[in-house]
Structure 1
Amino acid sequence: MAQKQRTPSQYQRNALAPSLIAAAILFLAPALITAGWAPLVQFVAAIFALIIAWFAFQARHWWWIPVFVAVAVLWNPVAPFPFTGPVWTAAQPAAAVVFLAAGATIRIVRK
């Protein structure tokens, strides 16, 4: 029986794995923040936002760069904003959806 030759993908999604990790943390953020893990959430969101902004720059998806710079500033752990309440709690999963959307759409042509 002859094996079917697999055709490699034409595209490479470098931002997918970091966006999945950041989205997982941000979906769990309301529970993590109440447990005292707010700095972890802030570090993960800010660092992965900058990583994904870099992948967007490399892929020439310029529209994602200001979005993730804003996420990095808002979730900045070095000089954090004193956000609390239901708006900040709702912002965590909203940012997770933004990470997932970027991870799914940022791609480059494989060489």
Structure 2
Amino acid sequence: MTVATPVTYQRNALAPGILAAIALFLAPLLMETDWFLFVRFVVSILALIVAWFAGQARQWWWIPVFAAIAVVWNPIFPLPFSGPVWIAAQAAGAIVFLIAGATIKVARA
């Protein structure tokens, strides 16, 4: 019988990263509908949440990345993107969220 070692860190950005990635992977299907506004809200809010967790983990290099994502996907003043580049940006954003969610970790108190 082995003794389990307690985990010494936690990944606070993992859940919001996964949720944002799901929304972004579904976004190309919803682009021409009213539901895309909901995707913009979800992605921009979760980008700010992940940026906050990155700051708490002292991984400062993620903050400008997620600030840029929050600006590009913002629903209040939407930027006029369209076409295949915008569709590819949805997948790229999802991958960034997944990588950040997996790598941003903070020591458990």
TM-score by length of 1: 0.94
Task: Quote the Cα distance in structure 1 between the aligned partners of 2:19 and 2:71.
Answer: 19
Task: Quote the Cα distance in structure 1 between the aligned partners of 2:97 and 2:38.
Answer: 17
Is the CA contact (8 Å cut-off) linking 1:23 and 1:100 kept in structure 2? yes
Query: In structure 2, what residue type is equivalent to 1:18?
Result: P
- Could you list the per-position Cα deviations for residues 49-95 of structure 1 after superposition, in whole angstroms to 9, with x for gaps in the alignment? 00000000000000000000000000010010111111001100100
- Structure 2, unaligned stretches of length 5 or more? none
Is the CA contact (8 Å cut-off) linking 1:33 and 1:41 kept in structure 2? no
- Structure 1, unaligned stretches of length 5 or more? none
Q: RMSD of the alignment, in Å?
A: 1.0
Task: Quote the Cα distance in structure 1 between the aligned partners of 2:31 and 2:23.
Answer: 11
Offset, 1:4? 4.2
TM-score by length of 2: 0.95
Residue aligning to 1:32: 30
Residue aligning to 2:18: 20
Residue aligning to 1:75: 73
Larger radius of gyration: 1
Task: Quote the Cα distance in structure 1 between the aligned partners of 2:34 and 2:87.
Answer: 14
- Could you list the per-position Cα deviations for residues 22-49 of structure 1 after superposition, in whole angstroms to 9, with x for gaps in the alignment? 0001011100213431101100110000
Residue aligning to 2:55: 57
Query: How many residues are paired up?
Result: 109
